[in-house]
Amino acid sequence: MRISVTDIKQKKSKSEKIVAVTAYDYSTAKICDTSGVDMILVGDSAGMVMLGYSSTIPVTVDEMLVFCRGVVNGSKNALIVADMPFGSYQPDLSLAFSNAVRFIKLGCNAIKIEGGREVAPLVRNLTQNGVPVMGHIGLKPQTSPLWEGYKIQGKSCNAAIDLLHDAMELEKAGAFSIVLEMVTAESAEKISKAVSIPTIGIGSGNKCDGQVLVLHDLLGLYDDIKPKFAKRYADSHTLFSKAVASYANEVKSGGFPDPTHTFSMPPEELKKFEEYLLTSLKTGEKERDGDRQSAI
């Protein structure tokens, strides 16, 4: 059975670390789903990784739904959380709920929205209406670049207190977990102990209740940005580049496809086809000769 929101919450009480991966399509979701991943986050980072945007800001709900559909179809076990893109929930509660419902009806199990105390009323409204919500504080990729850029969060006492209050208000509002992005390890540890819901860290130290990485980062496939916090467990970019280059060289040289990658006719059928061609060619030559004579 698919992991539920309740299962995720109970992992904290059992001191079980939560494994989350951000993925965007059917094939990679299948890999994650069979590799011990508890949660697949369909992040709006798909805009950068899959569509080549310079940030997550341009991503639309319709684009996110396409990525979510692939992950839903490719996963049977992991909890699926969909990122609500910028502008899809901030304006009013009605818009937020209608957009959230689109993800839930598609097959996602929860949605994620960025923000702390300022979005707590929205989180409360969504959860009271049956939509599980994951919070996201610390670095907020949808808005942080507009104000301060990509900076480490929780470095000062006051900043850490603000993050703590954000986390506590999200918990009170009904969020089932909170992503802590690029928060100092010390702040993340204190926040994780202060709330009863799981914290999922990304660049926030190992004292969070779980961790999330973008699949393309941990595979070394996305090469445009290399975050310090993203450990590369494989060099897929180099591996894939070599494979495609080898394919291109073999096609150009005539080495691919070889007989092992080719289908053949039965000899008797080939003989019939060759005889047909000989007869057709002779008939065609006579017809062309007749046409030339007529023209003269």
Return per-residue pLDDT of the chain as tens, 296 residues. 899 999 999 999 999 999 999 999 999 999 999 999 999 999 999 999 999 999 999 999 999 999 999 999 999 999 999 999 999 998 789 999 999 999 999 999 999 999 999 999 999 999 999 999 999 999 999 998 777 778 999 999 999 999 999 999 999 999 999 999 999 999 999 999 999 999 999 999 999 999 999 999 999 998 777 777 889 999 999 999 999 999 999 999 999 999 999 999 999 999 999 999 988 877 766 666 666 556 55
Measured distance CA(208)–CA(167) in Å, rounded: 13
**Residue at token pair 């959230």:** 100
Q: Which of 114, 169, 171, 181 is catalytic?
A: 181
- pTM listed for this prediction: 0.89
Pair of tokens at residue 287: 């017809």
Which CATH code, of 3.30.43.10, 3.20.20.60, 3.40.50.300, 3.50.50.60, is assigned to 5-232? 3.20.20.60
Angle at 282 between CA 277 and CA 286, to 5 degrees: 145
| Ramachandran quadrant class, 235 (left: phi over 0; alpha: psi -120 to 50; beta: rest) | beta
Please report, as a single letter, which amino acid is at residue 71.
V
Cα 80 from Cα 152, distance rounded (Å): 27
Task: Work out the number of other CB atoms within 10 angstroms of the CB of residue 33.
Answer: 20
Predicted local distance difference test score (pLDDT) of residue 51: 96
pLDDT, residue 149, reads: 75
Q: Would you call 181 a catalytic residue per the annotation?
A: yes
CB atoms within 10 A of CB 272: 12
Question: Which positions ≥6 away from 142 have C-beta within 8 Å?
Answer: 44, 56, 57, 85, 86, 114
Strand pairing report for 79-83 and 39-42: parallel
Q: Which residues pair with 22 in a beta bridge?
A: 41, 214
In angstroms, what is the C-alpha Rg of the chain? 28
In this prediction, residue 146 carries a pLDDT of 78
Question: What integer pLDDT is reported at residue 66 of this predicted model?
Answer: 98
